[in-house]
Homo-oligomer: A and B are copies of this chain.
Amino acid sequence: MPVRKRFFAAPGQAPEIVRTFIRKLAQAAKRGRPPARADRRESILAAALQCFVERGFHGTAMPQIAERAEVAAGTIYHYFPSKEALVNELYRTWKGVVAQRVFEAFPQGAPPREQFRVMWLEIIAFARDEPAAFMFIETHNHASYLDAQSVALDRNLKNFARHMIGLAQAAGLVKPLEPTVLMELAFGAFVGMMRAHSEGRIALVPEVIAQAEQACWDMIATH
């Protein structure tokens, strides 16, 4: 059973990268949103998310988004200055949500094996709650229409994961490979499985999830 400690057992060795991470997240949230005036805004965002997932950014026309959101095309421009701004807000919002969830669930004092499991299960939970949003942020990574702020948010998340891998390596639990390689391998495996799931090729029952999680740990762990 997962034991989730939210504070460090030994405060002196608290990784500042975690505090930096949460601070940047808060900053981004402050900087972002103008005060939401109507739920039209939300329905436009939801419609755009679906369209972008189904047909991609360039494959989606603004009138299509408008039709799906049941508003006129011009209305979108009352809430968003451009198509680019719309996709960037979507990206930042959902990447922030998943980051927030992972960070809040993260058991800071727990052993690495437990940390890995919790992160894995939390992202799975997110992907099941918001399948479209998950596919969106995974397929639109590093696209040319993402602005600097969106890219920075992704980099922060990866720095966080890399740092955790480094700590586990120091404890001799994880293979002495470059942390970036291990992270990309593990996350790539995860995304591959989730993509197959969202395309209906596999069924994600709890038993499969647990076994896949163990398999991914086997990949990065020393044996």
Contacts and interface: CB of A to CB of B under 8 A. Distances in A.
Interface of A: 54-59, 142, 144, 175, 177-178, 180-182, 184-193, 195-196, 199, 201-202, 208, 211-212, 215-216, 218-221, 223
A212 B175 CA distance: 10
Contacts of A223: 218, 223
A16 to B, nearest CB: 23
Contacts of A215: 175, 177, 182, 185, 219-220
A55 to B, nearest CB: 7
B177 A211 contact: yes
Nearest to A215: B219
A138 to B, nearest CB: 10
Contacts of A221: 218
A195 B178 CA distance: 16
Contacts of A191: 188, 192
Given A181-B208, A185-B215, A189-B219, 15 more contacts: A55-B58, A56-B56, A56-B58, A57-B59, A58-B59, A59-B144, A177-B208, A177-B215, A181-B202, A185-B212, A186-B189, A215-B219, A215-B220, A218-B218, A223-B223
